[in-house]
Amino acid sequence: MPARAEVVVIGAGLAGLSVATRLAAAGRDVLVLEAAGHAGGRLTTDRVDGFLVDRGFQVLNTGYPRAADLDLDALELGWFLTGARVWVDGRAHRVLDPRSRPTSIAATATAPIGTLPEKAALAAFSVRAGFLPVERLRQAPDRTAAEALQQAGLGGLVQERFLRPFLAGVLLEDRLETSGHYLDLLWRSFVRGRIGLPARGMQSIGQQLADRLPEGALHLGCRVTGVASGLVRTTDGSIAADAVVVATDPDTAAGLLPSVTASAPRQVTTHLHVLPASPWDDALLVLGRPGGQLVNSVVLTDAQPRYSPDGRALVASSTLAPSREADVREEVARAHGVATGDLAHLTSVTVPAAQPAALPPLELRRPVDLGDGVFVCGDHRDTPSIQGALASGARTARAVLRHLRPGSAASA
């Protein structure tokens, strides 16, 4: 561990890696400290009995503008269809973006998720969010997602059967209290991009960024105990720096920087099961049913076969509240039309601080420069997403360069 670095970045999640790679590319001496044993932060992937298991059900949305920071081809993404499968009256119905499968137009138009005017309103909402300039989307007063959907003519059956359960799995809350402006940005990414899983798990996204750092710049297993202007204290000693960037989870950031108020109140529990084979012929999310515990369930290997070591199907099923596998097992089986005895429980993962909330009014681009050479970044400074983490990192890199050498931020 060096005694000094030009810039010390605390945290090797996507935000910290975004900062560090940009500063290194600008020729700055960067040191990245990470308490865990791997890069990637909340994007963590383990191997359980040969299966790839992400920390909760996570996916990469290529509609995020900052997805351009990644080498998507190198990730070898496997793709989900854009849409979801909905159970109504004992039958599964597909609701698909017709661009992903044009032959699905008739089935989607007749799916029992709402009236024809509601379906037309959903199409209009998608066009508006997907193609209007962002500045236009943000001109309207911010309100809750539930109120925004109601205003768009989407407050009836289409919300209860499709939009609410679909969005609950993304926002990790089912009351639709999230900012309507954030909903616009999120829906925009669904309209403009595709949803995929990397061949080596979600952790490989962070690892791809970490591999861009100079040799010796990343130090794993290093816990930071204190931060001050020009100084970082760790369990392995102190490091002097011209600039310090705290790029940790919100709670850790608030602990290191008393002026920062941030938290990640959203949580999720994901149960992983193995089936002998997939019961479906396409890669599509299955929405939870009204009154049940499941938010959604999906056969991951339908999109990314390399999550399985031997061709068996890997199923991920999520609940917003902590749950026991035994309590949701029957619900998982019903979601996929299989017998409970066909499901082999692999593991369950609860993520208590999965993501920050984004309540109205949405605070985009919260300050990252705290003064005296101390900076903070993370998705809690932008939006609670991979996009927010990467965008915050890019913004913080520019701020650090301005601090180190005024006028030098343009190249970051």
- What tens-digit pLDDT sequence spans the chain (412 residues)? 899 999 999 999 999 999 999 999 999 999 999 999 999 999 999 999 999 999 999 999 999 999 999 999 999 999 999 999 999 999 999 999 988 888 888 888 899 999 999 999 999 999 999 999 999 999 989 999 999 999 999 999 999 999 999 999 999 999 999 999 999 999 999 999 999 999 999 999 999 999 999 999 999 999 999 999 999 999 999 999 999 999 999 999 999 999 999 899 999 999 999 999 999 999 999 999 989 999 999 999 999 999 999 999 999 999 999 999 999 999 999 999 999 999 999 999 999 999 999 999 999 999 999 999 999 999 999 999 999 999 999 999 999 999 998 655 544 5
Judge: domain 45-62+266-355, CATH 1.10.238.10: no
- Tokens 């300039």 found at: 133
d(CA 265, CA 384): 11
Contact between 139 and 153 (Cβ < 8 Å):
no
Contact between 84 and 286 (Cβ < 8 Å):
yes
Nearest to 195 by CA among 52, 97, 56, 332: 97
- Can you list the positions of beta strands (E) in 161-293? 195-197, 218-220, 224-228, 231-234, 237-246, 266-275, 286-287
User: Domain limits of the chain?
Assistant: 4-43+202-263+360-411, 45-62+266-355, 113-192
Is this structure's pTM higher than 0.85? yes
Nearest to 355 by CA among 244, 228, 254, 268: 268
d(CA 189, CA 191): 5
d(CA 165, CA 173): 9
d(CA 374, CA 369): 6
Judge: domain 4-43+202-263+360-411, CATH 3.50.50.60: yes
**Distances 187 to 141, 183, 191 between C-alpha atoms, Å:** 18, 6, 6
DSSP state, residue 309: S
Q: Which is it for the CA torsion 181, 185, 191, 197, positive or negative?
A: negative
